[in-house]
Amino acid sequence: MTTMKDVAKATGLSLATVSRVFNGSEKVTEKTRKTVLKAAEKLNFRPNKMAAALRSGKSRTIGVVVPIIDIDVFSSAIKSIESYLREAGYHIIICQSEELLEKEGQILENLLNLQVDGVIISVSKETLNMNHMQELQDAGISIVLFDRRLELENVNSVIINNFSGAYRATTHLIEQGCRRILHLAGKSSVSIFRERQRGYESALKDHGLPVDEHYVFPLDLESEASLDHLRYLLQQDPAPDGIFAHGDYYAFGALNILKELNLRVPEDVAIIGFGDSPFCAYLTPPLSSVNQRNEDIGRMAAEIMLQELNEADHARVASQSMIPPEVIIRASSQRLTD
Amino acid sequence: MTTMKDVAKATGLSLATVSRVFNGSEKVTEKTRKTVLKAAEKLNFRPNKMAAALRSGKSRTIGVVVPIIDIDVFSSAIKSIESYLREAGYHIIICQSEELLEKEGQILENLLNLQVDGVIISVSKETLNMNHMQELQDAGISIVLFDRRLELENVNSVIINNFSGAYRATTHLIEQGCRRILHLAGKSSVSIFRERQRGYESALKDHGLPVDEHYVFPLDLESEASLDHLRYLLQQDPAPDGIFAHGDYYAFGALNILKELNLRVPEDVAIIGFGDSPFCAYLTPPLSSVNQRNEDIGRMAAEIMLQELNEADHARVASQSMIPPEVIIRASSQRLTD
DNA sequence: AAATTATATGTAAACGTTTACATTATTTCC
DNA sequence: GGAAATAATGTAAACGTTTACATATAATTT
């Protein structure tokens, strides 16, 4: 393995000068630069990043922590994080917390040992605070949260705007002529689900429609009784003519029940989900949904990380980004063909 | 940042002894081990992996290269590679070639600079040989190919057994009573698609059914003419009563045409795809398919990598693993209810 | 042309480990 | 109990860079 020392020897220059050529930044004559590069080329020299990392204290490595890799939202985000950071000369180390706080803690410790320059993380469901990140922060390692945010000031985060997504989805249904819109709600303990419900209610109000609490129903796909209640709701007179589900799986479940009851979609009931899961396009009829812009979230998280890393003074104010989602309209909610 | 030196000073022991405690392997008294660990704990010492990597030449890092991260087959494989290698004390660096040979080459060079101990790679579509991996091999870096194999001896690889998957899928259709089975074939230039066709034909022969070349049809989903030809084939007398598609998308396309022609699935035509894409379960009816066991492939690739890394003598014979796929039977091909 | 300044290069000490080799302490054996 | 063997610890030199500081060289000023 040839090293900078070899290149220095070959060119008659000093080790320092050779190093400067590869750092790019520092001043070095165009002539010596060429000499060095040519010699390096000939000797097939490749700089050892480990050594550079050790000496400089900068590994140009970013840890990316997600609960689990092969879930659409995470793999898409990772995809754009990777490509964005690679362009900037960083590489990423992927870790999975498996939704376990303890494992997440181990991973963060491990990343600290690896001298990562930053950590982009979507926290586990068990994670309620940033205590286990204290050491990272103390070590001056930049942190960006994405998708799953902790409700904390002073921490960089990127999430989609759940309120706005729900608002837009509900508004879309209203525009398609729906007047009695059911909301299949999520657990109200989860903030993003509360946001979605708020968006739904806000849209109804803004369009002069009543908010009927019976129309907000936390469907449980596992419970036959819960499914029965949905059947019951759909057969009332007047019957609901629209459904906004807080997640695509719930919309899918409702879709099956609508078929079972011989209700036409979207003519009798228009329906829209949330998440724009890959399967939406394949349902019969294809399901409208709110796109979570996972790639954009990843890109933005990477962007913020880079800013953070380049900011010389470490006194940046934390940026809390909310990306507005996009309503993807498919046949399940498309009544008008304007 | 406290270092081993600090721990040594605090315990009155030498740097070497402290190092040995953290290496685990070497001989050290239980008593001193405890002393060191306690002091380390107190000083909040964390070993600097960069330094260790530099000195030892082993980074305990594996590069994982895939064409693109957020495709099911790759994200699932990455998931199990990560969890398996992490257990063994390695971490992975993820890279995307974007199906470009040139980018793949840059990535490999980069990984070389990073001193990775091994590379697990699913090559780009443009990659036909291992020329750009020569340097890695020369540097003694272990390589394992997965999913996309190069047809080379002497290289570790893990793929599913396409022949067997196709054979089993076709056999399943035959067992369900199909006698005139259409094969929606893939490009015969691609070896895995040829394998699938071979499996199909072999199954027919083994069950005494004729292999009709008109029944092997390379459907092009983009071409209306091609779709028309499928319509034509399905309306012949006698009509096909089964379809084995080389990919799920093609099965999905066929499914839509069957609906359009008012043919019942699976009563009139049973259908099965290949890949077991996530959307299969959501189609109406749910689509049978051949599972590619992505996680198993990933796990096995990781296993082989670990063997390779632990093998002191580097004279292991390359292992070429073929994982038999699993036929996932859903409503689209389930005629009998035994 | 000397003095000043700016620019390019050189010197050498880090960075925090691992590890070959040397030394000391401990056990075993006769 | 002392020699021989074994086990534990210590010493110090790497590993391949970066970078503060010193020096040499070139450009500018007076």
A89 and B CB contact within 8 Å: no
Res B330 pLDDT > 90: yes
Average the pLDDT over B93-118 and give the result.
Answer: 95
Answer whether A198's CB lies under 8 Å from A166's CB.
yes
- At B338 the pLDDT is 61
A278/B279 Cβ within 8 A: yes
Q: What percent of chain B has pLDDT over 70?
A: 97
Per-residue pLDDT tens digits for B126-152: 998 899 999 899 888 999 999 987 877
Q: How far is it, in rounded angstroms, from Cα A255 to Cα A273?
A: 10
- Nucleic strand C near CB of residue B47 (< 7 Å): yes
User: Pairing state of beta strands A156-160 and A142-146?
Assistant: parallel
pLDDT at position B189: 84
C-alpha distance from A212 to closest chain B C-alpha (Å): 31
- B95 and A86 in contact by Cβ < 8 A? yes
Residue nearest to nucleotide C10 (CA to C1'): A14
What's the gap in Å between the CA of B320 and the closest CA on chain A?
25
The verdict on a CB contact (< 8 Å) between B94 and A78 is yes
Please count the CA atoms within 13 angstroms of the CA of A72 that sit on its side-chain side: 14
Report d(CA B337, CA A95) in Å as an integer: 43
Chain A residues inside the 8 Å CB shell of B76: 70
Residue of A nearest to B279 (CA): A279
Strand ordering across the sheet containing A270-272: A216-217, A181-184, A242-245, A270-272
Cα radius of gyration rounded to whole Å, chain B: 26
CA distance, residue B284 to nearest chain A CA (Å): 7
Find chain A residues with C-beta within 8 A of B92's C-beta: 93-94
Structural contact between residues A104 and A59, judged by C-beta atoms closer than 8 angstroms: no
Q: In chain A, which stretches have pLDDT less than 70? A: 25-26, 312-315, 338
Three-state DSSP class for A270? strand
Q: Do B115 and A50 touch (CB under 8 A)?
A: yes
Closest chain B residue by Cα to residue A107: B86
What integer pLDDT is reported at residue A151 of this predicted model? Answer: 75
| pLDDT of B313 higher than 70 | no
Reported pTM: 0.91
Name the minimum distance, in Å, from the CA of B206 to any CA of chain A.
Answer: 35
C27 C1' – B31 CA distance, angstroms?
17
Closest CA to B63 of B309, B335, B239: B309
| Band of pLDDT at residue B185, cut at 50, 70 and 90 | very high
Using a 7 Å CB cutoff, list residues 316-335 of A near strand D. none
Cβ of residue B94 closer than 8 Å to a chain A Cβ: yes
Q: A284: which chain B residues are within 8 Å (Cβ-Cβ)?
A: 283-284
Pairing type for strands B181-184 and B216-217 reads parallel
Chain C nucleotides covered by protein, CB below 7 Å: 7-20
Strand D–CB B27 distance below 7 A: yes
Q: Which of B48, B62, B69 to mutate to test the interface with A (most CBs of A within 10 A)?
A: B69
> Which residues in B lie closer than 8 A to residue A281 (C-beta atoms)?
279
Nearest CB among B78, B96, B278 relative to A279 is that of B278
The strand C neighbours among A residues 16-45, by Cβ under 7 Å, are 16-17, 20, 26-29, 31-32
Q: At what angle do helices B15-23 and B30-43 cross, to 10 degrees?
A: 90
H/E run at residue A93: strand A91-96
**Nearest 5°: phi and psi at B151?**
-80, 70
Please tell me which of the candidates A53, A69, A114 has its beta carbon nearest to residue B78. A69
Residue in chain A closest to B139 (alpha carbons) equals: A1
Nearest residue of A to residue B3, measured between CA atoms: A113
What does the pLDDT look like over A24-53, one tens digit per residue?
Answer: 766 889 999 999 999 999 999 999 999 999
Chain A residue numbers with beta carbons less than 8 Å from the beta carbon of B278 are 278-279
Q: Once rounded to an integer, what is the mean pLDDT over residues B227-241?
A: 95
Average the pLDDT over B202-222 and give the result: 96
Does the pLDDT of residue B67 top 60, yes or no?
yes
